[in-house]
Homo-oligomer: A and B are copies of this chain.
Amino acid sequence: MYIPTYDDVLIAHKRIKPYIHETPVLTSSFLNNLTGAELFFKCENLQKAAAFKVRGACNAVFGLTDEQAKLGVATHSSGNHALSLSYAAGQRGIDVTVVMPSTAPQAKKDAVIGYGGVIVECEPSTSSREAVFSEVVAKSGADFVHPYNDPRVIAGQATCSKELMDQVCGLDIVIAPIGGGGMISGTCLTLSTIAPHIQIYAAEPVNADDAARSFKVGYIIADDAPNTVADGLKVPLKELTWHFVRNHVTDILTATEDEIINAMKLVWLRMKLVIEPSSAVSLATIIKNPEIFKGKRVGIIITGGNVDLDKLPWMSQ
């Protein structure tokens, strides 16, 4: 298992800069008053493809040799990694195949196709997904870019907090949501190297709290099919992300579905930003745990903004 270093992050940042936005950091005096903290929102919802995942995807795609690139890239994902890898491959002009369950929302399929990706459908089960994916890779020889358990991807995600460090000084805490742990691992990689005094918190839905339970017991617990509105956070930790979480995260906090939806709506209402439920989990845990955050300068990674605008979660509450 290759563990990426900060040198990999520096190389990644130089490599991906032409293809990503340096996303703005926004603030809200309303939310500062509400939480008693000074909050700095790093807006990856305003990133290309509306997700931080573009960073890792671009680092993987543009790190390939021309020989490798000819064979294309492939992944399995029905979320932001699928869009992001399709965007990155499109920028390089290479093939990309995404294995997606046939049950994935049409909007997600359309978005992948819009970026030039090819979708191969599988049944909505792990066994079908793995079988179909193996076949795709065997046939094309495409490079497999895992959504998070990949050193290239983690080094790419790490450029987000590298930018944040240049944009905001004197942070006490950085918090990001945790699913598979790609963003948190990148955050750990950057901060443990260039700002080791900053505490790193992860935020997770109560309904998909396998990382929080893993953190407590000291080994990876992987739930099979958790159900949460924060659909980007359903996947389990893997060995590479577990390495970073175990060594560098201060704590993993959790929030209920209602707390997540309320925090999401607050950001839409007060900051005028379209963020997806996964992005709201951090703020939900900050509101819930004032004793940790009060009086602190807190960086919050807003991870993405891909939501179905015709079906907002507070409307079905």
Interface residues, chain A, with chain B CB atoms under 8 Å away: 24, 26, 45-46, 50, 265, 268-269, 271-275, 305, 309-310, 312, 314-315
User: Could you list 12 examples of A-B contacts with CB < 8 Å?
Assistant: A24-B24, A26-B46, A46-B271, A265-B309, A268-B274, A272-B273, A272-B274, A272-B275, A273-B274, A309-B312, A310-B314, A312-B312
Question: Residues of B contacting A46 with CB < 8 Å?
Answer: 26, 271-272
Minimum CB distance partner of A306 in chain B: B272
A106 to B120, CA, bound (A): 49
Q: Tell me whether A305 and B24 are in contact in the complex, defined as CB-CB below 8 angstroms, given that A310-B314, A314-B310, A315-B310 are known contacts.
A: no
A50 to B30, CA, bound (A): 12
How many Å from the CB of A313 to the closest CB on chain B? 11
| Cβ-defined contact, A272 with B45, below 8 A | yes
Question: Residues of B contacting A265 with CB < 8 Å?
Answer: 309
Question: Residues of B contacting A273 with CB < 8 Å?
Answer: 272-274
Question: Residues of B contacting A275 with CB < 8 Å?
Answer: 272
Minimum CB distance partner of A275 in chain B: B272
How many Å from the CB of A25 to the closest CB on chain B? 10
Minimum CB distance partner of A315 in chain B: B310
Question: Residues of B contacting A314 with CB < 8 Å?
Answer: 309-310
5 nearest A-B residue pairs (beta carbon): A272-B305, A272-B274, A45-B272, A24-B24, A50-B272
Question: Residues of B contacting A315 with CB < 8 Å?
Answer: 310
How many Å from the CB of A59 to the closest CB on chain B? 20
How many Å from the CB of A78 to the closest CB on chain B? 18
Question: Residues of B contacting A312 with CB < 8 Å?
Answer: 309, 312
Q: Tell me whether A269 and B45 are in contact in the complex, defined as CB-CB below 8 angstroms, given that A24-B24, A274-B274 are known contacts.
A: no
Question: Residues of B contacting A310 with CB < 8 Å?
Answer: 314-315
Question: Residues of B contacting A269 with CB < 8 Å?
Answer: 309
Question: Residues of B contacting A45 with CB < 8 Å?
Answer: 272
A310 to B268, CA, bound (A): 11
Minimum CB distance partner of A272 in chain B: B305
Minimum CB distance partner of A267 in chain B: B274
Question: Residues of B contacting A271 with CB < 8 Å?
Answer: 46
How many Å from the CB of A249 to the closest CB on chain B? 27
Extra contacts besides A45-B272, A46-B272, A268-B274 (5): CB < 8 Å: A46-B271, A265-B309, A272-B275, A272-B305, A273-B273
A136 to B20, CA, bound (A): 54
How many Å from the CB of A198 to the closest CB on chain B? 25
* Of A50, A272, A315, most B-chain CB atoms within 10 Å: A272
A24 to B21, CA, bound (A): 13
How many Å from the CB of A10 to the closest CB on chain B? 26
Minimum CB distance partner of A270 in chain B: B50
A272 to B46, CA, bound (A): 6
